Amino acid sequence: MATVNFWAEDVRAARDWYSALFGAEPYFQQPNAEQPAYIEFRIGDDADEFGIIDRRYAPQAMRPGPGGAILFWHVDDIASAFERLIALGAQPCDPITKRGDSGFVTASVVDPFGNILGIMYNPHYVAMHERGAGAAPPPGPSAS
């Protein structure tokens, strides 16, 4: 995975909301900061790219309302993260749910722009990241 993109009808409002959530400003705004149609943040343990695109550029086949793939973000304290998302204006989608007996816990919210945002605590993710496990090769033909 190189990047994930969410959609918003008001990219400036989405920028401000996600800046408050991340505690960081986007590093890229196109065409400009006053009227952005696309913005990018670098987030997470590996500084992955998170973009927000003006919904007018979304494929026609996409239905309005929450949906699509759910990106799950690893957090150390799922209850605090869930509470913070709700305090910032997100709506609950799936409550905090224990998944089996391994310590894996998930929840999701709908951001103010209609995107589903998942959060999780995953002991396997923690162990892999602590070991410095390499990324899986991308699917498809080799680029060499």
pLDDT at 144: 46
Same domain, 44 and 75: no
pLDDT at 89: 97
CATH number, domain with residue 28: 3.30.720.120
For 89, the token pair is: 């204006």
- Give CA separation, 42 vs 28, 49, 103, in Å: 10, 5, 28
* Residue 9 is assigned to a structural domain of this protein: yes
* Residue 73 is assigned to a structural domain of this protein: yes
CA angle 21, 94, 54 (to 5 degrees): 50
Same domain, 123 and 94: yes
Same domain, 129 and 77: yes
Gyration radius of the chain's alpha carbons:
16
pLDDT at 136: 55
Same domain, 91 and 125: yes
pLDDT at 140: 55
CA angle 16, 18, 22 (to 5 degrees): 120
Same domain, 83 and 126: yes
For 111, the token pair is: 């951001």
- The domain total for the chain is 2
Q: What is the pTM of this model?
A: 0.77
Same domain, 51 and 77: no
- Tell me the range of 25-29, 64-68, 121-125 where mean pLDDT is highest: 25-29
Same domain, 130 and 77: yes
Q: Which residue has the tokens 């400009």?
A: 32
1 pLDDT above the threshold of 70: no
* Residue 12 is assigned to a structural domain of this protein: yes
* Residue 129 is assigned to a structural domain of this protein: yes
Which regions of 15-88 does DSSP assign to beta strands (E)? 28-30, 38-43, 48-54, 71-74
Same domain, 53 and 77: no
Rounded Cα–Cα distance for residues 5 and 41 (Å):
10
Give the pLDDT confidence of 89-136 residue by residue, as tens digits: 999 999 999 998 989 999 999 999 989 999 999 998 888 888 886 555
Identify whether the C-beta of residue 62 lies closer than 8 Å to the C-beta of residue 71. Answer: no
Q: Which domain range does residue 25 map to?
A: 1-57
CATH number, domain with residue 119: 3.10.180.10
Same domain, 49 and 76: no
Same domain, 48 and 72: no
- Residue count (the chain): 144
Rounded Cα–Cα distance for residues 27 and 41 (Å):
6
* Residue 10 is assigned to a structural domain of this protein: yes
